[in-house]
Amino acid sequence: MMWGSAVAAILFVGSGLWLAAPQMFGMTDYVGRPTTGADSSAPATTVGTGVPTQRDAISTAAKEDPAVNEDSSGGRARQIKQSSQPANLSEQQRQQLQSVLSTAQGPAVDRPNFEMMVGTSVPRQTETADLPAEVTQILNGFWGDQYLIAGKSLVIVDHHSRRVAAIIADVR
């Protein structure tokens, strides 16, 4: 009888430690979730967090061919997403953007209600404004598109498809 109680107590304490140890040592935030290799400190989604998934990215399709309308098959959206590449702005371009956008009265949000990735759909209820002509000259493209400031980033929105065409970080 005494041995049975001792074994039961050891099993009880052992199972409690088995469940609590990963959380105590920061190995995982949920025991049943398999590891994926992803950064566990980053949020699973950027929607509403204001944390950009892409910092400096530009869609060459949206930049060079702004007049194309969205078709029912979603071809324009695919072109925008598939042509995403790093922005590679010079320090002078970044300073010019900061100067222009500091005086612009465009819409600004701390935390956007969409994922900040090139090609992501921007909801109709998200306010945007026409992109200042000076910005199109600095970036050499995006004529006729719209924009908003999300946190400290410039988000350029394709006018026809309402897709994120570019994200330029640290402009405010």
Mean pLDDT throughout 138-162? 92
pLDDT computed for residue 47 by the predictor: 54
Max intra-chain CA distance, the chain: 86
Give the model confidence (pLDDT) of 27-70 as tens digits: 554 444 444 444 444 444 455 554 546 778 888 888 877 656 65
This model's pTM is above 0.85: no
Question: Residue 169 forms beta bridges with which residues?
Answer: none
**24 Rama sector, left if φ>0, alpha if ψ -120 to 50, beta otherwise:** alpha
Mean pLDDT throughout 70-95? 81
Mean pLDDT throughout 77-98? 87
Task: Give the model's confidence band at 71: pLDDT under 50 very low, under 70 low, under 90 confident, else very high.
Answer: low
Question: Is residue 88 predicted with pLDDT exceeding 60?
Answer: yes
Classify 100 as helix, strand or coil.
Answer: helix
Helix ranges (DSSP H) in 34-161:
60-64, 75-82, 91-103, 133-139
- Closest C-alpha among 161, 54, 47 to residue 117: 54
Give the model confidence (pLDDT) of 103-127 as tens digits: 988 999 988 888 889 999 999 999 9
Domains delineated in the chain: 1-40 (no CATH), 57-168 (3.10.450)
Give the model confidence (pLDDT) of 135-148 as tens digits: 999 999 899 999 99
Helix and strand totals (H; E) in the chain: 5, 7
Question: Is residue 83 predicted with pLDDT exceeding 70?
Answer: yes
Q: Give Cα separations from 58 to 35, 97, 103 (angstroms).
A: 32, 15, 23
Q: Give Cα separations from 75 to 81, 91, 152 (angstroms).
A: 10, 34, 30
> Residue 150: exposed, middle, or buried by beta-carbon count in 10 A (0-12, 13-18, 19+)?
buried
Which range is least confidently modeled, 13-17, 95-99, 105-109, 161-165? 13-17
Q: For strand 57-59 and strand 84-86, is the pairing parallel, antiparallel, or unpaired? A: antiparallel
Helix ranges (DSSP H) in 83-164:
91-103, 133-139
CA atoms within 13 A on the CB side of 132: 18
